[in-house]
Copies of this chain bind each other. A is one copy, B any other.
Amino acid sequence: MGARRGLTAAIQGEQGSFSHEAALQALGKSVRVVPQPTFSALFAAVTSGEAARGVVPVENSLFGSIHESYDRLKANPLHIVAETKVRVRLCLAARPGTQLAAVVRVASHPVALAQCQKFFAAHPHLQAIPAYDTAGSVRDLFAADATADAAIGSALAARLYGAEILREAIEDHAENYTRFLVISREAAPPKGPSKTSLVFTLHNVPGALYAAMGVFAKRGLDLTKIESRPIPGRPWQYSFYVDVLGDPQGALGEALDECRALAQEFRILGSYPPAPGDGGP
């Protein structure tokens, strides 16, 4: 997308969250993030025009797909216009001047705390304190009633709230990335090769998914992701989400037409430039 002056982007969570980092990475430094308490509020803010874009986490390389994001992408008539992958690098942040030896209570979101088990094992005097989110736990170090001595969050959160980073990259697994999608009310397909995300349902007959995948495979098109989600009211039947690389003006366009003809429901969620480093299943 490149930088756009003053573009607003709804995120779920606080300033300084990894969603905020994703917004900066995908939309440039001039982006203004609009924090939302829930995914529902995020999608509503983009639908209403309150924010020009939304930045939605869809998958983490250790924990897998974020179901709610997939369900809302299908349910809302918005378009994916970009993707970005953020390395989840966790820092121990504290009020300036704090020494690690003086830290006892360390606050963060339970998922972030769980991702730093080796760090806690190596520093047995530290107590993990569950909090509402990572960035908020850094911000709350400066509240009048602060109860934690340090917090685990992004370097961005430390910078934004004026905290000092005592230790960097304390997460257990270095290969920890979250993939985010940028959504908008208008589609913005790039010219030429891109990544296209679609969602479809199939007639409930054996081999239907294999046949749908075949329209891409026989053209040598690379599927980078396939995800299934249940269809409420139709137990053990699924919506399939597929990401595929190719040129919608070329072979991919033919494949999409063929897939649409096989499908029961079918919707293209968007075409956008692929982030670097994609392999495919």
* Residues of A near any B CB (own CB < 8 A): 59-64, 67, 173, 175, 177, 179, 202, 204-210, 213-214, 216-217, 220-230, 232-238, 240, 277-281
- Residue in chain B with minimal CB distance to A232: B62
- Residue in chain B with minimal CB distance to A212: B281
Least CB distance from A86 to B in Å reads: 12
Bound form: Cα–Cα A36–B111 in Å: 22
Evaluate whether A60 and B230 lie within 8 angstroms (CB atoms) in the complex, with A235-B177, A236-B278 already known: yes
Taking a contact as CB atoms under 8 Å apart, the answer to whether A209 and B220 are in contact is no
A213 partner residues in chain B, CB cutoff 8 A: 209-210, 213
Give the contacting residue for A61; candidates B209, B222, B228, B230; CB below 8 A.
B230
Evaluate whether A62 and B230 lie within 8 angstroms (CB atoms) in the complex, with A206-B220, A217-B210, A220-B206 already known: yes
Bound form: Cα–Cα A214–B217 in Å: 11
A227 partner residues in chain B, CB cutoff 8 A: 228
Bound form: Cα–Cα A82–B213 in Å: 30
Bound form: Cα–Cα A224–B207 in Å: 10
Taking a contact as CB atoms under 8 Å apart, the answer to whether A232 and B173 are in contact is yes
Least CB distance from A117 to B in Å reads: 13
Kindly report how many copies of this chain are found in the complex they form together. Answer: 2
Which of A63, A67, A209, A230 is most buried by chain B, counting CB atoms within 10 A of its CB? A230
Bound form: Cα–Cα A230–B232 in Å: 25
Bound form: Cα–Cα A221–B206 in Å: 8
A62 partner residues in chain B, CB cutoff 8 A: 230, 232
Evaluate whether A233 and B279 lie within 8 angstroms (CB atoms) in the complex, with A207-B220, A220-B206 already known: no
- Residue in chain B with minimal CB distance to A238: B281
Least CB distance from A204 to B in Å reads: 5
A61 partner residues in chain B, CB cutoff 8 A: 230, 232, 235-236
Evaluate whether A209 and B226 lie within 8 angstroms (CB atoms) in the complex, with A202-B281, A204-B279, A204-B280 already known: yes
Least CB distance from A258 to B in Å reads: 15
Bound form: Cα–Cα A206–B213 in Å: 12
Bound form: Cα–Cα A117–B199 in Å: 28
Q: Known A-B contacts: A206-B280, A226-B226, A236-B279. Give 9 more (CB < 8 A).
A: A60-B230, A62-B230, A175-B232, A179-B236, A206-B220, A206-B222, A206-B223, A209-B226, A227-B228
Give 14 A-B contacts (CB < 8 Å), ordered by A residue. Answer: A63-B67, A64-B67, A175-B234, A175-B235, A204-B280, A206-B220, A206-B221, A207-B217, A207-B220, A209-B226, A209-B281, A226-B228, A236-B277, A237-B279
- Residue in chain B with minimal CB distance to A176: B235
Taking a contact as CB atoms under 8 Å apart, the answer to whether B64 and A229 are in contact is yes
Bound form: Cα–Cα A234–B177 in Å: 10
